[in-house]
Amino acid sequence: MARFIEGPVTVSVPATSANLGPGFDSLGLALSLRDELTASVDGVGLEVRVEGAGSDEVPLDESHLVVRAMRCAFEQMHAAPTGLSLRCRNVVPHARGLGSSSAAIVGGIVLARALVAGGSLLMDDDAVFRLAAEMEGHPDNVAPAFHGGFVISGREAGEFYATSGSLDPRISAVVFIPPTPVSTEVARGLLPETVPHADAAANSGRAALLVASLASRPELLLRATRDYLHQDYRESAMPESLELVRRLRDAGHPAVVSGAGPTVLAFTDGPSRPLADWSPGPDSLVAQCPDGWTALHLDLETAGARVES
């Protein structure tokens, strides 16, 4: 039976944006907005405390997503704690397309591994990623949440895969977060079973261009972020988001729906340089924020989930 270390242990995990326009269910990016989870194995029973985003909505029992992820990881490591104390300090908004569920799943698994003596030997990074992807059902958010940076991921023959792509340090992002959520299930339910071949072909080209643009050609991001597969089909669930995407793109900003929405993400200049000719700049973007929404200028986060203490 596995042994536990003396806690507490703290893990932080980043927000993520998936799809990025044409990279439907395959491209994901970590952002510099991090949830923090602290846990210890002691006593008997379960204690869950939540601060910040979702604190008045999420359950405080075994059904809490972080707890479920921890239990699954403990089971894989043949560990069975008699008592568990968990504190979640949430910054990533819930049901907004910024990977809050992936942050909870990845954070819980990494936290459980850190609480078990020799946990990295009992559960390596590949096993962490596989379990997270299985729990989430698709890897496009959990991959950057765990690995950080820009990640291309997918599933083939029942096996999940992920590989990191390059990121140009000149790029950052502004996210526009609306006050009301849209569930992933609702957004996915609006997608058609098939799409025209011409749209699929155009989308493949844009997704390939997006990988190159994020690596070294940010001036091509406006063209590279054009989507043909999912955003327009979801308009009825988030009309304000699609209106904002079109308005920003018409003004020259590479804007997309973040994940399943309704948050809108627009690429802009990064912290390593002043305004560039490919982007009107973050200040100009933030000024476009609709009334009642929140605009945040975020770095592209190179670090994934990490043990802080």
The single-letter DSSP state of residue 90 is E
Binding residues for ATP, as ranges, are 93-103
Helix (H) or strand (E) holding 268: strand 264-269
Of the candidates 161, 118, 159, which has an alpha carbon nearest to the alpha carbon of residue 142?
Answer: 161
> What count of other Cβ atoms lies within 10 Å of the Cβ of residue 211?
16
The residue to which tokens 């504190």 are assigned:
87
Asked whether the bond before 139 is cis by omega within 30 degrees of 0, the reply is no
Of the candidates 190, 234, 235, 228, which has an alpha carbon nearest to the alpha carbon of residue 210?
Answer: 228
C-alpha triplet 271, 265, 106: angle, nearest 5°: 85
Partners of residue 78 on adjacent β-strands: none
Kindly state the tokens that stand for 245. 């995407």
The single-letter DSSP state of residue 231 is T
Binding residues, as ranges, are 93-103
Of the candidates 180, 97, 106, which has an alpha carbon nearest to the alpha carbon of residue 139?
Answer: 106
CB 149, CB 302: distance < 8 Å: yes
> For residue 53, which phi and psi values (nearest 5 degrees)?
-55, 130
